[in-house]
Amino acid sequence: MPKMKTHRGAAKRLKQTGTGRLKRHKANKSHILTKKTTKRKRRLRKAGLVAKPDEKRLKRMLPYGG
């Protein structure tokens, strides 16, 4: 069987954790930051986890891990 191809867009955006969950960056941190509170911007710095319902679909895009 041939090698499976990794979805390059997903590979650039997601990393796999030690337990197998997918880590992602939070949205709304790229521009129009003046009106956002410092607290909100600070929270956006931290990575989030992909929601459980989306995980199965995204893991198929990364056959060899993130």
Q: Using one digit for the tens of pLDDT, what is the confidence trace for 11-52?
A: 999 999 999 999 999 999 999 999 999 999 999 999 999 999
User: Could you tell me if 8 and 63 are in contact, meaning their C-beta atoms sit under 8 angstroms apart?
Assistant: no
Q: Which domains are seen in the chain, by residue range? A: 9-61 (4.10.410.60)
42-45: long-range contacts at Cβ-Cβ below 8 A with a sequence spacing of 24 or more? none
Fill in the DSSP letter of residue 15. Answer: E
Q: Tell whether pTM > 0.85.
A: no
Provide the token pair at 12.
């650039």
Q: pLDDT value at position 26? A: 96
